[in-house]
């Protein structure tokens, strides 16, 4: 063997390197062990948090065990004077691969099938309940235009040609009787606590993404489409709305506020807006 | 029979090819020699990496210290840094171009095109690629593509600023963002050229591996490096052309009034646009149909190379060679049908979301097996902690860490919170950033003696490893947790949000670590440059490796194998055979001289 190859004696270096890989796992799990998520404020969000917690725990264990094993293997193999285990049998190879591969894939798929899909269905599959508060949010560079349908429960027609950034930002057709009692605002939404909110998302220019970190809500608003989402706020307070899809220079300050109010306060607030 | 016919035909052609072309230009500039082309790709890619890294430095300065002024930088880059403040339009161009350059012009060029070109003919026992002229053309188109991309910094409005994914309408409407004026047009042209070049390269890889293998080099005796290039090239050939089509369509939307990606009723900057009938989602599908397989095109070679280095530095065969090959195939198939996991909250049907979730997590099976087998290869070995081996061990650690992040993002329910946050940024930097970066460095340290006939400094190499591994891990591991806190990506600053106030301190730590990471790369550049000129002369086989490229001189002669092509008798991982002359047995050693174990 070439004399220039590094020695394979159990050196301080080998120990250190083995330890550093092991420490990477220990540090990672210790660092990740605290709660990082913004405090929860919605019903379906509990499901998302359960999903994330499941993953943080199972993947955290895999991550830790993986790094400890890697560190151990390095330390062990670096101390060997000769090859002690040359070629594994085919059978051993298949058994180890199948066992550990299936373990990891079943952790991943079990998460999706047992926790993930039910939550996904709750969020997308449920038809909006009758008492839901209907709100339309139209993203624009760099404003969230908010509209409530008013007493009649119906939004007035809109037409892009009527859009005027200062007087009529979403182009409401004032000749439509349904438009008469529509309430419009910018960057501010109020909703009653514990009642479903049915949010219709539109965009008049770019793709935006309506992101409520505390409520675990995120949905793109895309020109030409009107996706609807339903969520139930469970905590009174004011929560920030952020844009989560790059939409231009002001993307980083396309900020809105969601006020979750008691049923009474919400009714009063809505009257004041008229 | 087939093998002999191929060899005769090729031998006849190669007879002339063994003669080295005379003249500097034909030898080193417009060369059809795969080794020269490989090195051209590697040097071009390293140059682009320097550019891409400098962009990352500016990004981290802005995110770490958002209100600080940098007057000195302002003097260097007056267009993008006004009064010492990085402007939002320049910031978006930085983010876009950093991603584009690193993914397409650094990792693709160095790892896929560079080492692919250099290694495939040498490792399968061929004199050159199947189509040497096409190969040369591929490089020159690639260089043109890189130049067009760099030129976009200097056009009206600056470089593209719609993100490396270039979602329309932002990338389609020229008034949407300054980078969408001319920068985006250059971006699209450069991408179309890039794909044309990759297609020529990919065709060459597949044709060479299919038809120019030396006698005895059966598919199941190929090193995993070659296998990984083979699968990656097939994926690239299938997945890349749709983006060429998409790029042309977007160019038409931008300049000729078509509406592939633009629906009716869009009002931008007070103007009602005349487009109607298109869908922005179409671009996302076309982009990710390329974009996701591209991830595997980049990462598979890094994994293949890691698998080939493990036996060299443990002096024992790889664990589970055949299984690794099947895993690469499985990833090749599954990787083509999971692109929608980038679009869980895009407005795509939630039913598709469920499918893409289940399919994406299926990839965990082959990839977990691949990782486990890499680790199992250490068991019972005689480990030598040389620089290439350190980077290989780093590949395993990063592959695990990044892969585990994938379990979060492939899961549609978890992705609702994590989509487009720094969790994603952290995850893909571990995978297409980290695994590929460490794999690239492992390859450079390992094959540098073969390429240039000189060795790199081991001491500087180890310093470089630790200055890469630790800061890289810090930066991108922490970013996962920024994502859990809800920090969205592509934000110019995080100062306006109350819920992100607590992230400021973390961003400073990340920026400091990123600057250390960048400084660490200077050690590499110094080592690379110094070793090129002053490095110790390398012998034919300095590492005691068993694959074919180590049976020829360093650097290998034109035509690679002299007048007689090698004949292969065994698999590439024949180490520590009991009755062999050395602790490695090259693939060309006959069964009479040493027993064959696979």
| A33 close contact with B: CB closer than 8 A | no
pLDDT digits (tens, 9 = 90+) for A177-188: 999 999 999 999
The CA-to-CA distance between both ends of chain A, in Å, stands at 87
Q: Cβ contact (<8 Å) for B481 and A32?
A: yes
Q: Which of B297, B292, B323 is nearest to B231 (CA)?
A: B297
Tokens of B511: 């920026």
The beta-carbon neighbor of A74 closest among B162, B383, B477 is B383
Q: Which of B108, B126, B346, B310 is nearest to B214 (CA)?
A: B126
Residue of B178, B181, B267 to mutate for A, most A C-beta atoms under 10 A: B267
pLDDT digits (tens, 9 = 90+) for B64-108: 999 899 999 999 998 899 999 999 999 999 999 999 999 999 999
CATH number, residue A217: 2.60.40.420
Q: Cβ contact (<8 Å) for B88 and A249?
A: yes
Q: What is the mean pLDDT of chain B?
A: 93
Are A268 and A139 found together in one domain? Answer: yes
Number of domains in chain A: 2
In a domain, A250, yes or no: yes
What pLDDT score does B84 carry? 92
| B361 close contact with A: CB closer than 8 A | yes
Percent of chain B with pLDDT over 70: 97
Calpha distance A72→A70 (Å, rounded): 5
B431-461 burial, b if ≥16 CB within 10 A, otherwise e? bbbbbbbbbbbbbbbbbbbbbbbbbbbbebb
Are A113 and A216 found together in one domain? Answer: no
Are A115 and A16 found together in one domain? Answer: yes
Q: Tell me the average confidence (pLDDT) per consecutive run of 10 residues in chain A, 274 residues long.
A: 48 83 91 92 95 95 95 89 88 92 92 90 83 95 95 92 90 93 95 96 96 96 94 97 96 97 96 88
- Name the DSSP class of B455: P
What pLDDT score does B19 carry? 65
Residue of B411, B461, B477 to mutate for A, most A C-beta atoms under 10 A: B411
- Chain A residues touching B386 at Cβ < 8 A: 5-6
**C-alpha angle with apex A168: A166 to A173, nearest 5 degrees?**
165
- A145 beta partners: A138, A186
In a domain, A5, yes or no: no
In a domain, A57, yes or no: yes
pLDDT digits (tens, 9 = 90+) for B273-312: 999 999 999 999 999 999 999 999 999 999 999 999 999 9
Are A183 and A106 found together in one domain? Answer: no
In a domain, A228, yes or no: yes
Q: Cβ contact (<8 Å) for A205 and B176?
A: yes
Are A68 and A174 found together in one domain? Answer: no
Residue of B nearest to A80 (CA): B382
What pLDDT score does B125 carry? 96
- Chain B residues touching A59 at Cβ < 8 A: 404, 407-408
In a domain, A202, yes or no: yes
pLDDT digits (tens, 9 = 90+) for B232-251: 999 999 999 999 999 999 99
Q: Which of residues 198-257 of B touch A (CB under 8 A)?
A: none
Question: Which pLDDT band, with edges at 50, 70 and 90, does B10 fall under?
Answer: very low
The beta-carbon neighbor of B263 closest among A4, A59, A223 is A223
Q: Which of B231, B310, B318 is nearest to B598 (CA)?
A: B318
Domain-terminating residue out of A89, A124, A159: A124
Domain-terminating residue out of A68, A103, A124: A124
Calpha distance A194→A42 (Å, rounded): 8
Are A205 and A114 found together in one domain? Answer: no
Is residue B330 within 8 A of residue B365, CB to CB? The reply is yes
Whether B513 shows a pLDDT value over 60: the answer reads yes
What pLDDT score does B4 carry? 36
Size of interface A-B (CB pairs under 8 A): 334
What pLDDT score does B18 carry? 56
Tokens of A97: 């691969």
Calpha distance A249→B61 (Å, rounded): 18
For every residue of B244-298, DSSP letters joined together read HHHHHHHHHHHHS---SS--TT-EETTEE----S--HHHHHHHHHHHHHHHHHHH
* Distance between A261 CA and the closest CA of chain B, angstroms: 19
Q: What is the domain range of residue A243?
A: 133-273
Are A204 and A262 found together in one domain? Answer: yes
Are A165 and A116 found together in one domain? Answer: no
The beta-carbon neighbor of A218 closest among B89, B393, B416 is B416
Are A172 and A235 found together in one domain? Answer: yes
Is residue B55 within 8 A of residue B49, CB to CB? The reply is no
Are A76 and A112 found together in one domain? Answer: yes
Are A232 and A149 found together in one domain? Answer: yes
Peptide bond just before B331 cis, omega within 30 deg = no
The beta-carbon neighbor of A97 closest among B178, B373, B493 is B373
Q: Which of residues 31-90 of B touch A (CB under 8 A)?
A: 88-89
Question: Which pLDDT band, with edges at 50, 70 and 90, does B580 fall under?
Answer: confident
In a domain, A1, yes or no: no
Whether B129 shows a pLDDT value over 90: the answer reads yes
Domain-terminating residue out of A72, A91, A124: A124
Min mean pLDDT across B5-9, B263-267, B277-281, B376-380 is at B5-9
Are A194 and A80 found together in one domain? Answer: no
Question: Which pLDDT band, with edges at 50, 70 and 90, does B12 fall under?
Answer: very low
């Amino acid at each position: 063997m070439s004399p220039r190859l590094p020695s394979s004696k159990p050196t301080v270096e080998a120990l250190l390197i083995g330890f550093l890989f092991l420490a990477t796992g220990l540090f990672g799990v210790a660092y990740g062990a605290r709660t990082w998520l913004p405090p929860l404020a919605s019903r379906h969000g509990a499901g998302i948090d359960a999903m994330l917690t499941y993953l943080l725990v199972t993947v955290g264990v895999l991550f830790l065990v993986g790094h400890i094993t890697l560190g151990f293997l390095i330390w062990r193999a670096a101390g060997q004077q000769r090859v002690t285990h040359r070629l594994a049998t085919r059978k051993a190879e298949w058994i180890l691969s199948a066992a550990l591969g299936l373990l990891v894939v079943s952790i991943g798929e079990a998460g999706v099938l047992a926790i993930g899909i039910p939550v996904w269905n709750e969020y997308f599959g449920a038809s909006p309940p009758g008492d839901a508060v209907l709100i339309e949010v139209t993203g624009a560079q760099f404003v969230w235009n908010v509209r409530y349908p008013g007493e009649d429960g119906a939004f007035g027609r809109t037409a892009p040609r009527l859009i005027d950034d200062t007087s009529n930002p979403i182009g409401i057709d004032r000749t439509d009787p349904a438009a008469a009692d529509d309430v419009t605002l910018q960057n501010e939404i109020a909703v009653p606590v514990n009642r479903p909110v049915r949010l219709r998302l539109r965009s008049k220019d770019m793709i935006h993404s309506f992101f409520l970190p505390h409520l675990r809500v995120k949905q793109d608003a895309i020109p030409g489409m009107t996706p609807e989402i339903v969520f139930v706020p469970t905590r009174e307070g004011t929560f920030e709305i952020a844009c989560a899809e790059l939409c231009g220079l002001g993307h980083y300050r396309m900020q809105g506020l969601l006020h979750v109010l008691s049923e009474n306060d919400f009714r009063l607030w809505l009257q004041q807006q008229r | 029979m087939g093998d002999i016919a191929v060899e005769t035909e090729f031998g006849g052609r190669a007879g002339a090819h063994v003669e080295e072309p005379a003249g500097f230009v034909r030898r080193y500039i417009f060369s059809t020699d795969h080794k020269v082309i490989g090195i051209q790709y590697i040097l071009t890619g390293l140059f682009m990496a320097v550019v891409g890294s400098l962009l990352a430095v500016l990004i981290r300065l802005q995110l770490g210290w958002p209100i600080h002024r940098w007057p000195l930088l302002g003097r260097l880059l007056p267009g993008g840094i006004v009064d010492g403040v990085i402007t939002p339009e320049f910031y978006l161009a930085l983010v876009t171009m950093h991603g584009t350059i690193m993914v397409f012009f650094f990792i693709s060029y160095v790892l896929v095109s560079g080492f692919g070109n250099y290694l495939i003919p040498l490792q399968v026992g061929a004199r050159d690629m199947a189509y040497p002229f096409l190969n040369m053309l591929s490089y020159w188109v690639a260089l043109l593509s890189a130049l067009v991309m760099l030129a976009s910094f200097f056009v009206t409005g600056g470089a593209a600023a719609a993100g490396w994914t270039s979602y329309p309408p932002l990338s389609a409407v020229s008034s949407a963002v300054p980078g969408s004026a001319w920068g985006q047009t250059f971006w699209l042209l450069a991408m179309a050229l890039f794909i044309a070049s990759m297609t020529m390269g990919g065709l060459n890889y597949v044709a060479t591996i299919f038809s120019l293998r030396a006698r005895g080099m059966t598919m199941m005796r190929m090193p995993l490096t070659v296998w990984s290039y083979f699968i990656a090239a097939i994926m690239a050939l299938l997945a890349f052309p749709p983006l060429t089509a998409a790029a042309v369509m977007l160019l038409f939307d931008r300049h000729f009034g078509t509406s592939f990606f633009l629906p009716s009723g869009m009002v931008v900057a007070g103007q009602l646009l005349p487009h109607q009938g298109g869908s922005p989602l179409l671009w996302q599908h076309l982009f990710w149909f390329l974009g996701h397989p591209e991830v595997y095109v980049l990462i598979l070679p890094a994994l293949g190379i890691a698998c080939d280095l493990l036996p060299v530095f443990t002096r024992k065969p790889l664990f589970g060679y055949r299984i690794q090959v099947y895993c690469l195939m499985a990833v090749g198939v599954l990787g083509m049908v999971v692109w929608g996991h980038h679009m869980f909250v895009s407005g795509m049907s939630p039913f598709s979301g469920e499918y893409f979730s289940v399919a994406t997590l299926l990839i965990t099976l082959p990839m977990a097996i691949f990782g486990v087998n890499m680790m199992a290869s250490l068991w019972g070995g005689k480990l030598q902690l040389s620089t290439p081996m350190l980077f290989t061990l780093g590949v395993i650690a990063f592959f695990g860490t990044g892969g585990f992040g994938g379990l979060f993002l492939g899961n549609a329910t978890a992705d609702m919170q994590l989509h487009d946050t720094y969790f994603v940024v952290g995850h893909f930097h571990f995978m297409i950033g980290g695994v590929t970066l460490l794999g690239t460095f492992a390859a450079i340290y390992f094959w540098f003696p073969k390429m240039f006939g000189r060795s790199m400094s081991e001491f500087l190499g180890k310093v470089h490893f630790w200055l890469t591994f630790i800061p890289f891990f810090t930066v991108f591991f922490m970013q996962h947790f920024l994502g859990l806190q809800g920090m969205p990506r592509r934000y110019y600053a995080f100062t306006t949000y109350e819920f992100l106030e607590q992230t400021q301190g973390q961003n400073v730590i990340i920026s400091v670590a990123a600057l250390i990471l960048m400084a660490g790369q200077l050690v590499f550049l110094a080592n690379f440059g110094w070793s090129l000129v002053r490095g110790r002369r390398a012998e034919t086989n300095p590492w005691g490796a068993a694959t074919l490229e180590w049976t020829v001189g360093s650097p290998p002669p034109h035509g690679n194998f002299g007048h007689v092509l090698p004949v292969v008798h065994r698999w590439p991982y024949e180490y520590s055979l009991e009755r062999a002359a050395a602790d490695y047995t090259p693939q060309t050693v006959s069964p009479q001289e040493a027993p064959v174990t696979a």
